Structure 1
Amino acid sequence: MKAVSLLVRKPDISRAAFRAYYERHYCLLAMQHFPFRRYVRNHLLENDDRFGFDCISEFGLAEEFRRVPLMGSRSRQLMEADELEFMQPELIRVAAAEEHILFAADSHGPSQQRQVLLFRDEGPGPGPQGLKQGIETLGAELLRQLDSVSEMKLDLLTSDPAQPFPFDALLWIRTEGTDGFPLKPGTIPGLVGSLAVMTCASSEDELKERFVRFQP
């Protein structure tokens, strides 16, 4: 299973300080308490505050965790004190993600930046299936237009209505160039905006090595 979360820094620290604390402390603690199969932190660049969050994290776990209330687990409780050091935990938003690989090259370039396109299925629009088809069509067009795309994937999102996630889909694009970005909302159905992010990914070996125990 895959999930994504939005994290918001404390108002009295910079985005650079938030990123440094996350990468040097918090993510290491998370690896101890959760048996991640994938753990990727996508940090927004310093000057982009349009959407009110600072990081989109991606998590992969075994399928049996789909029915486990992770946010209410003892493992999560053990991390709350550390969260207060650099983020606003009451603003965390989580969504389950259905991932679709639209394109994957055999290798990636050296850049750790990605573009992420944010979508909402608003009003009497096309619905989830129509949104998916529209994004897939857009993805095919972008593959023809952009140079050096090495990966493109689509996350279709569902969340708890009591704590709704602000987006219904994310389109991730790894490319060495940034020509053509950001895409403008209003020109593409459902598109809210696009962001440049700096990606920090933990290897499978590190995730296995650091994991200690999950407590429900």
Structure 2
Amino acid sequence: MIFIFFIVFLPGVKLQNQQDHRVLLDQCHGGSCYPQLGDLMVGRAAQLSASSTCGLNGPQKYCIVGYLEEEQKCFFCDSRRPYNHYNNPNSHGVENIITTFDSKRKMKWWQSENGVHQVSIQLDLETVFQFSHLVLTFKSFRPAAMLVERSKDFGRSWKVFRYFAEDCALHFPSVSDETASNINDVVCDSRYSGPEPSTGGEVVLKALDPVFEIQNPYAPNIQEL
């Protein structure tokens, strides 16, 4: 399965105009200046969409191959109404991917339909942000192959941030699997696509990787991230 995560600039720092830049620089005179970071998915459930959701049109049966110690391996999902821990716990709409601090937050998740491949999630922020990082936590196995893209022209064109695959040569043969040598390199990363763990595995993308020194955060190539 290839999982595609589209973004129109995810969590990061909102870009200011040139006049605002001068104000910010004046405010930071004589010391370090760090623009405020935040999780921009919070409050944007209406801007999230998925190409496939389990139970969106009615109850659907699905079976899992993880959690092999559990006796029951088949379940039902019904995502016609939003998730509620008490009266609608089997709803797995895309809005469930938004991180919360609820003590029961791990009881809800987004889920695609069984057997559907090349599934995508898209978040539209309706303005321009500087992307910093993305962490995806999977309820089941992580995808054997996936990619993260971004657009700044409302989806008319897309640029890839990073490819992820257990076997980069098989899934993305034209993409280098070497370690990125600068912040703008687009490579395939095999560290986050293995079969283990079967639940709770993460895929991490650092667009502003601290391993690379950024001399000018307002340089055109950085603002493209």
TM-score band w.r.t. shorter chain = under 0.3
Q: Greater share of strand residues, 1 or 2?
A: 1
More helix by share: 1
Q: Which protein shows a greater Rg? A: 2
Structure number with higher relative contact order (C-alpha < 8 Å, ≥ 6 residues apart)? 1
